[in-house]
Structure 1
Amino acid sequence: MVTGSDSSILLEVIKQQNETIAALKNTIDQMSTDSKILREQIDYLTKKLFGKKSEKTSAISGQITLDAVAFGQFDEAEVEANIEEVEQIISKKKTRAGYSREKALSNLPEEDRVYSLSQEEQVCPTDGDELKYAGKKYLRTEVAYQPATMKLVHIYQENWECRTCRKEGRPYLTQAKTDPPLLQHSMASPSSVAWTMYQKYVNHIPLYRQEKDWKNLGMELSRSTLSNWIVKTSEEWLGAMVSKLHEKLLKQNHLHADESPIQVMKEEGRSNSTKSYMWVYTTGSRSSKPIRIFEYRTGRAGKNASDFLEGYSGYLHTDGFKGYGKVKNIKRCLCWSHVRRYFVDALPKDVKSPGSTLAQQGTLYCNKLFNIEEKLKDLPTEERRVERLKQEIPVLEAFWAWVNTNLEGVLQKSKIGQALQYAKNHQEGLMIFLDDGDCEISNNLAENSIRPFTVGRKNWLFAGSPAGADASAAVYTIVETAKANGLNPYKYLEYLLRHIPSIPNKQQKDMLDKMLPWNPQVQAACRTK
C-alpha cells in the first residue's frame, strides 16, 4: 500500500526526471544548432581555401530565377534572349576577348629588317650572270626587347665673364642656370628614383630584388640606399603634391573610402606585430579630376577618417564599418557589394535546385540591382536618379519585405542569418544612393583603388618604419592618381621629381596647380601611349 509520503516522493522523482529530460533535450537542440553552424563554417572555410576566389556564381550569371510570385521581373534574361544572335556568335571563331594585334602593337616604334644578298652572292650559281633585284617578301613580325641601360651624368656649370666689368671692379661673372640636386650629397636623379618607386609600387618588386637588378646593370646599390631615396624624396618633394591633392579632394561632392591592414616596424610604444592601417580616399567615379589619396595611420579608429575629412560635406561611400560614423556633416552611402558578398558567402555547396535557398534568392535580388545599374551608368545625373527611382524601388521594396519575412526563421549566427541581419541593420545607409544620380551603388571604386597596395604588400610584407609607411602612402597617392588620369606612373613621378625641386617657396602653390595630373601640359608630357 502506497502511503501519502511515498506518493509525494514519487511525484518529486517524476518531476526531477521531467526536468532532466527537458534539460537534456535543450542540450541536444543546442548541440544540434552548434553542429549545424560549425558544419556551415567548415564548408565556408573550405570554399575560401580551395574554391574559386571570384564571387561569381550561377545565381550571379543569371541561371537562377526567383519564383514569379516573389518578383515577376526576374525572368528578364529569358524574355530578352535572341536565339539567332547567339547562334551567330557561336558560329564565329573564338578568340581571346578584347584582343586585337593591331591595337596591342599600335604604340610600339617600328623598323624593317631586310635580309639581302652580299655583293659576292649577287651572281647566278648556274651561268654566272649578275642577279637583278626582284622585290622582297614579308615573312613575320617579332617583338624585340631592348634591356634597360644606365649611365653616369657629370654635371658642370659654365661661367661667363664680362671683361669690361672685371677691369672696372664690378661683378663680372654670370653662371648658367642649373637644376638643383634631387637630394643633397647624393647621386640620385629624378629618373633613377622614379624608376625605383615605379618598380616597387607599380610592379610590386621589393627593394632587395631591385638591388640585384641594379647590380646586373653594373652598379652596386644597397636596398637601404634605395629606401632612403624613396623616403627622402617623398618627405621633401612629393608630400607637397599630396597636400595639394588633399585640398582638391575635399572640394568634391562624392567620395569613397576604405582601409586595409599594414604591418609597420619600429612604431613607438608598439610591438612589430601590432596591426596598423593604410586608408584610401577617392573622388567619385564621375569626377572629371580623379584623385586617390593614401594615408598611413597606426589604427582603425574612426577619428582617422574624421580628421582627414575635416571640412568635407557631401556623400561618402563606405562599407558598414562603424568608425566612419564619426565623420560629421556627410551623407553616408553604404555598399551593396558588401550585402551581396554576405549572401554569396552563405551559398551552400551542392545545391541542385535553382533558387531553392535564401542565400541564392538574396544574391539574385542584389544582382537585379546591379544589372539595372549597369544599364543606367552612362545616363546624365538627373536622368539616372529618376530612372533609379522608377526601376529600382520595386526591387528594393520586394527585397526588404523578403528580408523581414525570413529574418525570424533563421539561425542568427548562421551565414544566412548574418547576411539578413547585416542588410537589415544598414537599410537606411543602403538607400542613400537613390538621392543623387552621381552616387554609386557600391564602394568598389575604393576597394579597387586600394587593391594595388594589398598586392604589393604580399611581396614586400611590411614597412620598415613609420617614415617608410608615410613614404609608401605618398608614392601610392601619386601612382594611383596618375593611373586614374590616364598617365604613365613612371613618367609622372619623374616629371614631379624633376620640376618640384626647382620651385621657389613663394611660387609653390601656383606652380603645383600647373603640375596636377589633369593639367593639359602634364597630360601631353606624361600621357600613356
Structure 2
Amino acid sequence: DGLPLYRQEAIFARSGVELDRTVMAPWMGKVGFELQPLADYVLERIKQAERIFADETRLPTLAPGTGKTKTAWLWAYARDDNPFGGASPPMVAFRFEDNRGGECVERHLEGYRGILQVDGYAAYNRLAQSAGANEGVIMAACFAHVRRKFYELHVNGSSELATETVTTMARLWQIEDGVRGQAPELRLKHRQENSATIVAELFDMWEKELPRISGKSKLAEAIRYALARRVALERFLADGRIEIDSNIVERAIRPQTITRKNSLFAGSDGGGRAWATIATMLQTAKMNHVDPYAWLKLTLERIAQGWSISKIEDLMPWNFEAQTV
C-alpha cells in the first residue's frame, strides 16, 4: 500500500502499539534475504520469454556517512504473454543499482536472446542485435512515449500537427483493443491490414513538417524523437508478439513510485536491494491477482519450515491459488 516504516510506526502508535521503525527495518532486510532466491528465479523466468519489457525509475538512497541522499535506480523487467495469447503467467523483477549505466542492463539480462521492448533510453541499445548477427536482442520501441511528447503540445493548444498526431494515434490503440489476447499471427494480419497505413501516414506527416519549423521548438524535438526510433517503433507491424507500447512494465513500476514518494528515500544500498526483492515478489503476486499478504505469509512459513529449493516453482505467486484451494 505504499506505506513507509515511519508511517506504519505512527499507525501502530495510535493503536497503543509501540513498534519502532528501527525494529521493523531489520525485519525487512531479513525478508529480503529470504526472498532473494525467489526474486532471482523470477528474473530467470522472465529471461526465458520471447518478448520482455524493461524500464527504470529513480530511488533516492541515503549515502553512508553523509546524511544526504544519492540517486540510485530500480530497474524493472516484466513479462506478460497474455496480450498475444501466451500461456505464461505475468511477472516483474526489480533490481537495485547505484547507477543508470548500460552495464546494469547487460548484467541483468545476460544470456537473453529475444525481443526487448523499451522507451527511448539509449542504455538498452547496448543489447541491440547488429545487422546480420545471429545472436543478440531485437529492440522494439514504445508509441506511448512518442505520444506523450505530442500530447503536451496538444493540450496547451500550441500545435495543430500535435493535435492531428494524437488523434491519428488514437486509431492505433483502437485497433490494438480489437486484437488483444489473440494469437500472434492474427494480430500481425490485422495490423498489416489496418495499422500499417496509419503508421506510414504519421511518419510521412512528421518528415514533411520537420523542415518547416524551428529546430529548437518542442514540436521539432518530438518529431526527431519519433523519427530516430522509426525502425524500433514499426517492429510491432512485423511481429504479433510485440506490443504497441511498453505500458505493461510502466504499470508494474507505478506502485514503486508511490512508495518512493511516501518514503522519500531508501535508508541504504542494502535497504534498496531488499526493496527491489520484496517489490519483485509482491508486485508479481498482484499481477497474478493474488493477495500479496496471504502469499507472503504462507511463503515465509514454508521457508522457515525448510522448504526445498528444488520446489521453488511451487512457491511462485502464480501457483499460489492452486496450492491453497
TM-score normalised by length of structure 2: 0.91
Measured at CA, do residues 370 and 461 of structure 1 come closer, stay the same or move farther in structure 2, by a change above 3 Å? same
1:514 to 296, 314, 317: 314
1:323: which partner in 2? Answer: 123
Alignment map for 1:340-355 (pairs within 5 Å): 340-347=147-154, 349=156
Q: Does 1:247 align with 2:44?
A: yes
1:497: which partner in 2? Answer: 300
1:200: which partner in 2? Answer: none
Summarize deviations over 1:30-49 as a string: whole Å, max 9, x none.
Answer: xxxxxxxxxxxxxxxxxxxx
User: Residue 438 of structure 1 aligns to a residue in which SS?
Assistant: coil
Given that residues 81 and 89 in structure 2 are in contact (C-alpha distance below 8 angstroms), is that contact kept between their aligned partners in structure 1? no
Given that residues 43 and 92 in structure 2 are in contact (C-alpha distance below 8 angstroms), is that contact kept between their aligned partners in structure 1? no
TM-aligned CA deviation for residue 413 of structure 1 = 1.7
Given that residues 77 and 249 in structure 2 are in contact (C-alpha distance below 8 angstroms), is that contact kept between their aligned partners in structure 1? yes
Inter-partner Cα distance in structure 1 for 2:231 and 2:171: 19
2:22: which partner in 1? Answer: 224
2:100 to 300, 305, 310: 300
Inter-partner Cα distance in structure 2 for 1:398 and 1:233: 52
1:289: which partner in 2? Answer: 89
Summarize deviations over 1:350-399 as a string: whole Å, max 9, x none.
Answer: 57xxxx71111111221121111112213222111111111111111211
Given that residues 51 and 116 in structure 2 are in contact (C-alpha distance below 8 angstroms), is that contact kept between their aligned partners in structure 1? yes
**Unpaired segments ≥5 residues, structure 1:** 1-202
286-295 or 439-448, which deviates more: 286-295
Measured at CA, do residues 526 and 435 of structure 1 come closer, stay the same or move farther in structure 2, by a change above 3 Å? farther
User: Residue 258 of structure 1 aligns to a residue in which SS?
Assistant: strand
Q: Residue type matched to 2:71 in 1?
A: K
1:215 to 7, 13, 28: 13
Given that residues 63 and 70 in structure 2 are in contact (C-alpha distance below 8 angstroms), is that contact kept between their aligned partners in structure 1? no
TM-aligned CA deviation for residue 516 of structure 1 = 1.5
1:206: which partner in 2? Answer: 4
TM-aligned CA deviation for residue 267 of structure 1 = 5.0
Higher relative contact order, chain-length normalized (CA < 8 Å, sep 6+)? 2
Given that residues 2 and 262 in structure 2 are in contact (C-alpha distance below 8 angstroms), is that contact kept between their aligned partners in structure 1? yes
Inter-partner Cα distance in structure 2 for 1:446 and 1:274: 24
1:359: which partner in 2? Answer: 162
TM-aligned CA deviation for residue 323 of structure 1 = 0.4
TM-aligned CA deviation for residue 348 of structure 1 = 5.9
1:463: which partner in 2? Answer: 266
Summarize deviations over 1:69-112 as a string: whole Å, max 9, x none.
Answer: xxxxxxxxxxxxxxxxxxxxxxxxxxxxxxxxxxxxxxxxxxxx
Inter-partner Cα distance in structure 1 for 2:32 and 2:116: 28
User: Residue 139 of structure 2 aligns to a residue in which SS?
Assistant: strand
Summarize deviations over 1:7-27 as a string: whole Å, max 9, x none.
Answer: xxxxxxxxxxxxxxxxxxxxx
Summarize deviations over 1:470-511 as a string: whole Å, max 9, x none.
Answer: 11111110110001111000011111111112226xx31x22
Inter-partner Cα distance in structure 1 for 2:211 and 2:324: 57
TM-aligned CA deviation for residue 271 of structure 1 = 8.0
Inter-partner Cα distance in structure 1 for 2:147 and 2:291: 34
Given that residues 249 and 283 in structure 1 are in contact (C-alpha distance below 8 angstroms), is that contact kept between their aligned partners in structure 2? yes
Inter-partner Cα distance in structure 2 for 1:396 and 1:239: 43
Structure with the greater alpha carbon radius of gyration: 1
TM-score normalised by length of structure 1: 0.57
Aligned length: 314
2:284: which partner in 1? Answer: 481
TM-aligned CA deviation for residue 212 of structure 1 = 2.8
1:430: which partner in 2? Answer: 233
Inter-partner Cα distance in structure 1 for 2:223 and 2:185: 31
1:419: which partner in 2? Answer: 222
Given that residues 6 and 21 in structure 2 are in contact (C-alpha distance below 8 angstroms), is that contact kept between their aligned partners in structure 1? yes
TM-aligned CA deviation for residue 526 of structure 1 = 6.2
Q: Residue type matched to 2:311 in 1?
A: M
2:109: which partner in 1? Answer: 309
User: Residue 359 of structure 1 aligns to a residue in which SS?
Assistant: helix
Q: Residue type matched to 1:290 in 2?
A: P
TM-aligned CA deviation for residue 525 of structure 1 = 5.4
Q: Residue type matched to 1:246 in 2?
A: L
Structure richer in helix, relative to its length: 2
Measured at CA, do residues 392 and 411 of structure 1 come closer, stay the same or move farther in structure 2, by a change above 3 Å? same
Q: Residue type matched to 1:257 in 2?
A: A
TM-aligned CA deviation for residue 234 of structure 1 = 1.0
Inter-partner Cα distance in structure 2 for 1:401 and 1:218: 66
Inter-partner Cα distance in structure 1 for 2:68 and 2:238: 45
User: Residue 274 of structure 1 aligns to a residue in which SS?
Assistant: strand
Given that residues 257 and 279 in structure 1 are in contact (C-alpha distance below 8 angstroms), is that contact kept between their aligned partners in structure 2? yes
Summarize deviations over 1:261-316 as a string: whole Å, max 9, x none.
Answer: 11111359x88333111111100342521111111100111111111001111111
TM-aligned CA deviation for residue 255 of structure 1 = 0.4
Given that residues 491 and 526 in structure 1 are in contact (C-alpha distance below 8 angstroms), is that contact kept between their aligned partners in structure 2? no
Inter-partner Cα distance in structure 1 for 2:295 and 2:81: 22
Inter-partner Cα distance in structure 2 for 1:362 and 1:346: 10
Given that residues 463 and 469 in structure 1 are in contact (C-alpha distance below 8 angstroms), is that contact kept between their aligned partners in structure 2? yes
Inter-partner Cα distance in structure 2 for 1:438 and 1:494: 35
Superposed CA RMSD in Å reads 1.9
Alignment map for 1:28-177 (pairs within 5 Å): none
Inter-partner Cα distance in structure 1 for 2:11 and 2:161: 54
Inter-partner Cα distance in structure 1 for 2:99 and 2:243: 27
User: Residue 264 of structure 1 aligns to a residue in which SS?
Assistant: strand
Given that residues 487 and 526 in structure 1 are in contact (C-alpha distance below 8 angstroms), is that contact kept between their aligned partners in structure 2? no
User: Residue 518 of structure 1 aligns to a residue in which SS?
Assistant: helix
